[in-house]
Amino acid sequence: FFAKNLWRKIWEAVQPGFEKSYEPCDPYEECDPEGRLATLDQNEDGTVTVEEIHGALRDLVGLSVHEDEMSLAKFVHSFADIDGDGKVTLQDFEVFCQEMPKLYENQKWRLAFPKNPASSALSDKTENTPVKRAQ
């Protein structure tokens, strides 16, 4: 689940606005698997490596990741490698173009109600408020 959410964040970062589309899309028109691959594939070899996912987690998602620690990127890479061949390729991106709308549909309720900082501040205040007990 964690790897799926991180991959979704990378997915959204390489094409802003897609998260608002809940309808299945044509892999070559709306989802643009080739464009997404080109954005992440820094060395232009046709695959997205663990190192490139590591960079995306840092640069696109905004996570503070240590240069020498690749375990999180490996975890996300293994999720993104749909066919299990050890590579994230255009074929994997095409599958995601077909499957991501289903993921959004399943999580539409959560995406419709983002966390509200004001409500969390309120809950922090109420947690520290002593409760009066009936005597």
Structural domain spans, the chain: 2-127
Which residue carries 């490698």 as its tokens?
A: 81
Name which CATH class applies to 2-127.
mainly alpha
Structure tokens at 54: 């590591």
Is the Cβ–Cβ distance between 80 and 7 less than 8 Å?
Answer: yes
CA 113 to CA 34: how far, in whole Å? 31
Q: SS3 for 99?
A: helix
Residue 113 DSSP label: S
Its pTM stands at 0.63
Structure tokens at 105: 């549909």
Residues constituting the chain: 135
**Which of residues 103 and 118 earns the better pLDDT score?**
103
Per-residue pLDDT tens for 81-104?
A: 999 999 999 999 998 888 766 665
CA 100 to CA 11: how far, in whole Å? 9
Q: Which band of pLDDT confidence, cut at 50, 70 and 90, is reported for residue 109? A: low
Q: Which band of pLDDT confidence, cut at 50, 70 and 90, is reported for residue 12? A: confident
